[in-house]
Amino acid sequence: MKDDRTLRAARRIAALIREDVDAHFSLRLWDGSVEPLGQAVTPDLAIRIAAPGVIASLLHRPSLDRLIRHYAKGHIEIEGGSMIDIAEPLAIDRPYRRRFKKLRRGPLMRSLAPFFFAKGAHPDSTRDFGTDAEGAGRREGDNRRFIQFHYDVGNAFYQLFLDPEMQYSCAHFPHWGATLEEAQVNKLDLICRKLRLKPGETLLDIGCGWGGLLCHAVTHYGVTGHGVTLSEEQMAFAQAKVERLGIADRVTLHLKDYREMEGAFDKISSVGMYEHIGLDNIPAYFQTVRGLLNEGGLFMNHAISRGAKRKKTKFSSRPEQRALQKYIFPGGELDDIGHTVSEMEIAGFEVQDVEALRQHYQYTTREWCQRLYRRRAEAEALVGAETYRIWAAYLAGCSFAFQRGSARLYQTLASKSPKGPTAVPPSRFDIYG
């Protein structure tokens, strides 16, 4: 009888959304029935709720973390499409979003009343980093644990949605109709052109990942490459790749913290690594990089950023950032580009160029999400259904963050000294001409 009350209440909520919002998807209830949430819903696209206790749980303790855990456990499921298919129309259609905000509160709260008194379903914990995911009190060796948690989920998993070059960073689309494969190769070449790589030079790639940039630079620009990573999975893949390509004599890979590197290099790149170091470590990071760079050298820093705030609070105070740190990127923090440039100058760099690539990352992460969705069965066989769902939500969330502008992406090129001539020509024709 109690279950009948919650079913009737859920159907009243669906009718209210159908009338006030006219959504593009349906709701599948725990008894298997389907309630369209609009007049012309996308066929088969639905959010499935496993039990009335799921709604009760979210009402009793509403939080993004609890929502993620219910989704990871399959208590909430998306049928007939990906999270992109559900949320993207809402993200890009302002009138649609406004209709959700105008949903009648009184009838909605009365319909929700039975769930307030229902027993909530407990969302058991799922794969997460546990304590200190924000990296507070970061100690020596923590960076290795943080990186391995994220990247050592397995190379085979990343191969399901990345391009053949295994580029797990923002692509650069020459036009919006380009494929991800084309855009990632274009990104690699863009970085090489910005660094003005020349045959015989030495290139250090900090956080070299699966070796894509190093292999491209060595093969197409004739440099000698050096890469450093903390991921054993990435190291093994990159080493096998350089041997397969026959360039092992021109590429040296190191499984160590970048702070342990010695020597001096003509050019240095850091792509998607800056987000991992922690805000408190930025001054030491730039000082270390500058110490590894030869006089007259160039440094490319490619990093996700956030918008600058009047009040200097840690980005990790936001619920979505705490969730990201707990389930995906432990220890990760985002800087704003103004602070990044200031810290570069304080460390002794001269900033030569800053390019914004926000929309490029929106398209990149969207494509990753859709590719992972299309290979869902393989992903679940490799890492399990929970990890697949966490990653699907993460990639979709990233795409929406870049679409909204709450996350940005910048490539910043700097030379070692603000005195005398630099390795940068008087125009950018060599990059974009």
Catalytic residues: 398
Kind and range of the H or E run holding 252? strand 251-255
Give yes or no for a contact between 278 and 305, defined as CB atoms under 8 angstroms apart: no
Exposure on the CB side of residue 402, measured as CA atoms within 13 A: 23
Residues near 260 by Cβ (< 8 Å), separated by ≥ 6?
none
Residue 411: both structure tokens together: 């490539």
* DSSP state string for 293-328: EEEEEEEEEEEEEE---SS---GGGSHHHHHHHHHT
Give yes or no for a contact between 306 and 336, defined as CB atoms under 8 angstroms apart: yes
* Single-letter code of the amino acid located at 314: K
Give yes or no for a contact between 41 and 56, defined as CB atoms under 8 angstroms apart: no
* Region at 156 (left for phi over 0; alpha for psi -120 to 50; beta for the rest): alpha
DSSP strand pairing (408-415 vs 293-306): antiparallel
What span, in angstroms and rounded, lies between the C-alpha atoms of 31 and 79?
Answer: 15
Other Cβ atoms closer than 10 A to 162 = 23
What span, in angstroms and rounded, lies between the C-alpha atoms of 253 and 55?
Answer: 50
Of the candidates 136, 130, 126, 65, which has an alpha carbon nearest to the alpha carbon of residue 331?
Answer: 136
Query: What one-character DSSP code corresponds to residue 371?
Result: H
**Burial per residue of 212-225, b for 16 or more beta-carbon CB atoms within 10 angstroms, e otherwise:** bbbbbbbbebebbb
Helix pair 180-194, 212-221: axis angle to 10 deg: 60
What span, in angstroms and rounded, lies between the C-alpha atoms of 144 and 234?
Answer: 13
Residue 403: both structure tokens together: 């679409």
Other Cβ atoms closer than 10 A to 12 = 17
What span, in angstroms and rounded, lies between the C-alpha atoms of 78 and 24?
Answer: 13
DSSP strand pairing (265-271 vs 335-336): unpaired
Residue linked to tokens 């913290």 = 257
